[in-house]
């Protein structure tokens, strides 16, 4: 328990907050659903309704800083009631400004229309066959050994190759992608605030995707990369090659840490919440509800970020143009005004899917259906092939004295590793 007042610990750099944001957000919430930090020119939104308000209000709030985070200083001096023009003039000065998640207005709508066409139910269904097969293989190998490390040994290769299959990455290149992603730290790590480095994985994958897309423009196949390569904007124009390359690489990257952490966070809840494993073994149809509760209680994206483009409001709070905002998804998902007994795990919550783990509004996660499906499929295989899954006490200690290591990231909530022992059926 900390003795410091809200706002004194720094969200972006304090190790204790990076490792456990929940207590910090409760300190902030005690001061109301929208809070001005003492040590930075940033508002933190912890209220559910207020978070939805910001996420839906793309007119007044730009997404330009959502990759580097709200600590990234504006590359200009905000002036007046409306900084839209200034922001557009400096858009390219923000890191990751070529990624769809940072786009605003018509440019976002146009790119999003292309992305939405990639994740159709029929594509996801075709991809599911690969998921089933690969999940079976990974789980059977792990059960044969009697143990595994979930985060790096199972979840990362699994979600990496599922997205590779979905995007049509040639099988011979998949191992290279897997190695590049394995070697990279998650986004939003300590030391990135205010000075993020360009992600080397994205650069690496960009080279491959430029090749794939070029090839598919001349020689289209039946895969997502071809759909992307031959897509046109709603006005009939063809996107620039590099614009598509960035989105393709981002699609690949965006699903990695998030889905891998959803699997490992789910596994921890399954093992550590009394009675939960047994209940799920008796009725695996509860897995989708389990995932929604894990997404709400411990979703893998704990915050996203915005900049006010003009003078506006969040709830009762006046927000001046240029104000940077943390939308604390992890706090909104535990707002007691929205959720009864918010810290409790419950399968029977009304409107259980209404959490903000996949955000809300125009930037709502494009991969939500994929993430839900891939984690459900591999959990089903774990239940099928085991009679018990337990935490490895040699690595994580005995119950009551557990030590679990979380990634020190200001974006991602997830375990660095999770060692389990598997009792075969
Ligand atoms: C548990 C897994 C996942 C979580 C928790 C998650 C979370 C999110 C969140 C919170 C956003 C919105 C950020 C904002 O509003 O500023 C987002 C956007 C996005 N996600 Fe996910 N995501 C997950 C999996 C995936 C997967 C598997 C993919 C693709 C393969 C993906 C692709 C994207 C893309 C492209 C966007 C940008 C959408 C836009 O800006 O219009 N995500 N995700």
Ligand 1 pocket test: pick from 259, 359, 367 the residue with the most ligand atoms within 8 Å of its Cβ.
Answer: 367
Q: Give Dmax (Cα) for the chain.
A: 67
**Domain 15-424, architecture per CATH:** Orthogonal Bundle (1.10)
What are the residues whose beta carbons fall under 8 Å from the beta carbon of 196, sequence distance 6 or more? Answer: 67, 68, 69, 72, 95, 96
- Residue whose tokens read 């990455």: 169
Report CA(101)–ligand 1 centroid distance (Å): 8
Angle between helices 241-272 and 171-182 (to 10 degrees): 70
pLDDT at 2 over 70: no
Atom of ligand 1 nearest to the CA of 63: 16
What confidence tier does 5 reach under pLDDT thresholds 50, 70, 90?
A: low
pLDDT at 193 over 60: no
* Cβ-based burial of 138 (10 A; exposed 0-12, middle 13-18, buried ≥19): buried
Q: What is the pLDDT of residue 182?
A: 66
Q: What is the pLDDT of residue 3?
A: 43
What are the residues whose beta carbons fall under 8 Å from the beta carbon of 375, sequence distance 6 or more? Answer: 259, 262, 263, 266, 291
Eight-state DSSP code of residue 82: B
pLDDT at 117 over 50: yes
- Rounded to two decimals, the pTM is 0.93
Q: Strands 42-45 and 324-327, how do they pair?
A: parallel
Which pLDDT tens digit goes with each residue over 39-75? Answer: 899 999 999 999 999 999 999 999 999 999 999 999 9
Q: What is the pLDDT of residue 24?
A: 95
Cβ atoms of 418 and 267 closer than 8 Å: yes
Ligand 1 binding residues, C-beta < 6 A: 55, 63, 66, 100-101, 112, 115, 163, 250-251, 254-255, 258-259, 262, 299-301, 304, 357-359, 363, 365-367, 370-371
Average pLDDT on 235-247 reads 87
Residues in the chain: 425
Q: Which protein residue's CA is at the shortest distance from atom 32 of ligand 1?
A: 367
Which pLDDT tens digit goes with each residue over 350-405? Answer: 999 999 999 999 999 999 999 999 999 999 999 999 999 999 999 999 988 999 99
Q: Where are the alpha helices (DSSP H) in 273-342?
A: 276-282, 287-298, 329-332
Average pLDDT on 78-99 reads 96
Average pLDDT on 230-243 reads 87
Which pLDDT tens digit goes with each residue over 291-314? Answer: 999 999 999 999 999 999 999 999
- The residue ranges of every structural domain in the chain are 15-424
Q: What is the pLDDT of residue 188?
A: 59
The per-residue DSSP string of 380-423 comes to HHHHHHEEEEEE-HHHH-STTS----B--BSSB--BS--EEEEE
């Amino acid at each position: 328990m900390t003795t410091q007042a809200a706002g004194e610990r720094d969200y972006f750099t304090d190790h204790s907050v990076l490792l456990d944001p929940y207590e910090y957000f409760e300190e902030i919430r005690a001061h109301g659903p929208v809070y001005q930090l003492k040590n930075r020119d940033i508002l933190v939104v912890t209220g559910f309704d207020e978070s939805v308000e910001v996420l839906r209000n793309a007119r007044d709030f730009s997404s330009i800083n959502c990759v580097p985070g709200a600590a990234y200083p504006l590359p200009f001096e905000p002036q007046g009631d409306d900084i839209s023009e200034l922001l557009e003039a400096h858009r390219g000065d923000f890191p990751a400004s070529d990624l769809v998640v940072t786009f605003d207005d018509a440019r976002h709508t146009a790119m999003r229309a292309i992305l939405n066409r990639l994740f159709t139910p029929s594509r996801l269904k075709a991809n599911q066959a690969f998921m089933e097969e690969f999940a079976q293989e990974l789980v059977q190998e792990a059960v044969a050994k009697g143990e595994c490390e979930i985060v790096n040994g199972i979840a990362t290769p699994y979600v990496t190759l599922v997205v590779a299959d979905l995007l049509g990455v040639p099988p011979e290149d998949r191992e290279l992608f897997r190695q590049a992603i394995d070697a990279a730290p998650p986004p939003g790590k300590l030391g990135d605030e205010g000075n993020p480095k360009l992600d080397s994985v994205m650069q690496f994958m960009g080279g491959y995707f430029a090749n794939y897309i070029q090839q598919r423009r001349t020689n289209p196949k039946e895969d997502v990369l071809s759909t992307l390569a031959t897509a046109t904007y709603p006005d009939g124009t063809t996107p620039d090659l590099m614009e598509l390359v960035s989105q393709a690489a981002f699609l690949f990257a965006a699903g990695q840490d998030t889905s891998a952490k959803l699997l490992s966070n789910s596994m921890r809840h399954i093992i550590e919440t009394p009675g939960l494993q047994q209940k799920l073994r008796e009725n695996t149809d509860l897995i989708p509800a389990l995932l929604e509760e894990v997404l709400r209680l411990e979703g893998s994206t704990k915050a996203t970020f915005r900049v006010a483009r003009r003078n506006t409001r969040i709830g009762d709070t006046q927000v001046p143009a240029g104000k940077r905002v943390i939308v604390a998804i992890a706090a909104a998902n535990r707002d007691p005004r929205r959720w009864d007994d918010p810290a409790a795990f419950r399968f029977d919550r009304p409107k259980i899917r209404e959490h903000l783990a996949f955000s809300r509004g125009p930037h709502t996660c494009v991969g939500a259906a994929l993430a839900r499906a891939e984690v459900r499929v591999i959990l089903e295989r774990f239940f099928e092939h085991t009679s018990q899954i337990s935490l490895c006490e040699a690595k994580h200690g005995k119950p009551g004295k557990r030590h679990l290591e979380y990634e020190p990231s200001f974006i991602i909530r997830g375990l660095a590793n999770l060692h389990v022992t598997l009792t075969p059926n």
